[in-house]
Amino acid sequence: MTIERSLPQLTLLSAPRALAMLALKFASLSLTLVLLSFTTDVFSRPSPRGLLPNSISLFRRPKVSRPAAESSMFAKAQRHALIRKLLGPATPMDASLMTYSQNNDEGYYVSVGLGTPSKSYYVILDTGSADLWVTGQNCTAEACAQLQKFNTKQSSSFKGLESQFKVAYADSNVDGDLGEDTLTVGPFTIQNQIFGSFPNAMDDPDFVAVENPVSGILGLGWEADADSRAIPFWEYLAKSGQWKMPLMSLHLARSSGNSEQDMEPGGTFTLGAYDPALCTGLIYYNYLTVTENPSKWTLPLAGILVDGKLVIAAGDTTIPAVIDSGTVYIYGPRSSIEEIYQAIPGSTPDLDTPGSWLYPCDTNVNIGISFADGVKWWPISATDFLADYVTSTMCRGAFMVTPQEVEALHPWTFGVAFMKNVYTVFKYYPPEIGFAELSATALAGSG
């Protein structure tokens, strides 16, 4: 683990210390002052600080209240989506991307440019997948009526590829074509970026891949996980040296819950750096569970606290946990999820929604998460633990059971219910994820 000290003017916030059984094995500190760095520990690895961040504003849907039946349907859809995403392609020509509803406060998306002349498309940022796709001009679904759709004939730089691309949904499939074109993300332009274009002609109208204003998904995963076999744009930029530092960072803001806007500011996506104005204190880096040719942004889980009580402890066992901005909730093995809710009085399984639990809405549940050596505990607020109001007294918790189909490979997935509570840095080399506490500036932008 590498620990990086903040700039002098930033305020260090206190946080709970790890339990003795998860004690620090080793730690290192690096202090960055202007352009000079001084290493205080022989175990240190370089931990550069961003100087001039290339930041892109995120947008999000405001949080909405859902009836019990709709809440159950949404939770089931997210479970199906996780299965399709984590199982991967069934054949070399099959792709498995997530179905995502924007009728909630968990869709984080940015505007990117595609084609010549460049046209803007809103796409969801998804660290749990590695492909770029947008809705094609032949989309006839009602959801596509107001969307920006990609028209191959209107881009002089488009090149079609002799390849099909299939997205597997819970109950239906969507076929599309692969092509190459010019992609612009913030100040960076990538020529000949491979992406998928889909007509979105699905058999089941209940599963719609996109909804206004979102036209597609921008995968921020690794090339090894790309169903299109394409190099993700961020990995190309990191490899080619176009970034000052080989990393990108995310601040996902929490919705105020009372906005009447169709979309509202949702945080910041920073390329080639991280924004010191959005984080404070130390940045705690941990190596991925797989550092040679990684496919997922996966960390070893160390432990979970419920209201200060240790309920999950990895010990000497490596428990992989995917950090996924494209997944709404947090998923874990059934036995672990049961232990978590057993520590919350009044909790009960939701018989109408397999894998989900209900708990008394008037209970403020505070969760702590630790990764790798257990040096630092990261909080999940009671606000983010509450996924939905199901009745006037019972609420759905954000921790749900990982589908049995994917549990062996990916037992834990930490979605935005966790990520809203931290500033997250994804590093290309060495392959690491870093977390930091949110600054006052970042917290001011959250509900």
Amino acid letter, residue 383: T
The band of 9, judged by pLDDT with boundaries at 50, 70 and 90, is very low
pLDDT (mean) for 367-373? 93
* Residues listed for the chain: 447
Distances (CA, A) of 321 to 79, 146, 410: 16, 37, 7
In a domain, 244, yes or no: no
What's 289's domain CATH number?
A: 2.40.70.10
- Indicate the pLDDT class of residue 15, thresholds 50, 70 and 90: very low
- Establish how many alpha carbons lie within 13 A of residue 197's alpha carbon, considering only the half-sphere containing its beta carbon: 25
Asked if residue 94 is part of any domain, the answer here is: yes
Contacts of 28 by beta carbon, 8 Å cutoff, 6+ apart: 1, 2, 3, 39, 40, 41, 43, 44, 45
Evaluate whether residue 255 is within a structural domain.
Answer: no
Q: For residue 3, which of 252, 380, 372, 310 has the smallest C-alpha distance?
A: 372
66 and 38 inside one domain: no
Residue 20 confidence (pLDDT) above 70? no
Residues 146 and 18 in one domain: no
Give the integer Cα–Cα distance in Å for 317 and 313: 9
The answer as to whether 116 is a domain residue is yes
In this structure, the answer to whether residues 60 and 177 fall within a common structural domain is yes
pLDDT of residue 346: 97
Note whether 438 and 343 are same-domain residues.
yes
The domain of 214 spans: 56-239
pLDDT at 230 over 80: yes
The answer to whether residue 311 scores a pLDDT higher than 90 is yes
Task: Name the amino acid, one letter, at 151.
Answer: N
Among residues 401, 389, 381, the alpha carbon closest in space to that of 360 is found at: 389
Average pLDDT rounded to a whole number, residues 180-187:
95
- Determine whether 181 is an active site residue: no
Q: How far apart (Å, rounded) are the C-alpha atoms in residues 320 and 371?
A: 10
Which of 8-12, 46-50, 287-291, 413-417 is the least confident region?
8-12
In a domain, 261, yes or no: no
Q: Which of 126, 227, 373, 388 is catalytic?
A: 126
Residue of 227, 275, 324, 350 with catalytic role: 324
Does some domain include residue 247?
no
Highest mean pLDDT among 120-124, 336-340, 443-447: 336-340
Predicted local distance difference test score (pLDDT) of residue 142: 74
Query: What pLDDT digit, counting tens, does each position of 261-281 carry?
Result: 556 678 899 999 989 999 999
- Within this chain, do residues 178 and 224 fall inside the same structural domain, yes or no? yes
Do the domain assignments include residue 214?
Answer: yes
**Per the structure, how many domains does the chain have?**
2
User: Does 279 share its domain with 136?
Assistant: no
**Residues 349, 353, 356: CA angle, nearest 5 degrees:** 50
* Same-domain check for residues 140 and 90: yes
Nearest to 319 by CA among 335, 342, 343: 335
446 Cβ neighbours under 8 A, 6+ residues apart? 253, 254, 256, 420, 438
Residue 11, pLDDT score: 24
Higher pLDDT pick, 234 / 37: 234
Q: Which residue has the higher pLDDT, 245 or 7?
A: 245
Residue 265 domain-assigned (yes or no): no
- 443 pLDDT above the threshold of 80: yes
Encoded amino acid at 258, one letter: N
Distance, CA of 342 to CA of 103 (rounded, Å): 31
Q: Does residue 206 share a domain with residue 181?
A: yes
Distance between CA atoms of residues 158 and 269, nearest Å: 27
For 225-237, what is the mean pLDDT? 93
pLDDT in tens, 292-304: 999 999 999 999 9
pTM: 0.79
Mean pLDDT for 216-221 is: 93
Together in a domain, 283 and 396: yes
Q: What is the model's pLDDT at position 147?
A: 84
Report residue 190's pLDDT band, with 50, 70 and 90 as the boundaries: very high
For residue 146, what pLDDT is reported? 79
Percentage of the chain with pLDDT > 70? Answer: 70
Whether pLDDT at 99 is above 70: no
Task: Identify whether residues 26 and 67 lie together within a single domain.
Answer: no
Would you call 262 a catalytic residue per the annotation? no
Confidence of residue 256 (pLDDT cuts 50, 70, 90): low
**What local confidence, expressed as pLDDT, does residue 140 receive?**
76
Mapping DSSP to helix (H, G, I), strand (E, B) and coil, where does residue 438 land?
A: strand
The mean pLDDT of 411-434, rounded to a whole number, is: 96
Instruction: Say whether both 72 and 169 belong to one domain.
Output: yes
Could you tell me if 277 and 439 are in contact, meaning their C-beta atoms sit under 8 angstroms apart? yes
The most confident of 51-60, 92-101, 156-165, by mean pLDDT: 156-165
CA–CA separation, 393 vs 389, rounded Å? Answer: 8
Shared domain check, 286 and 206: no
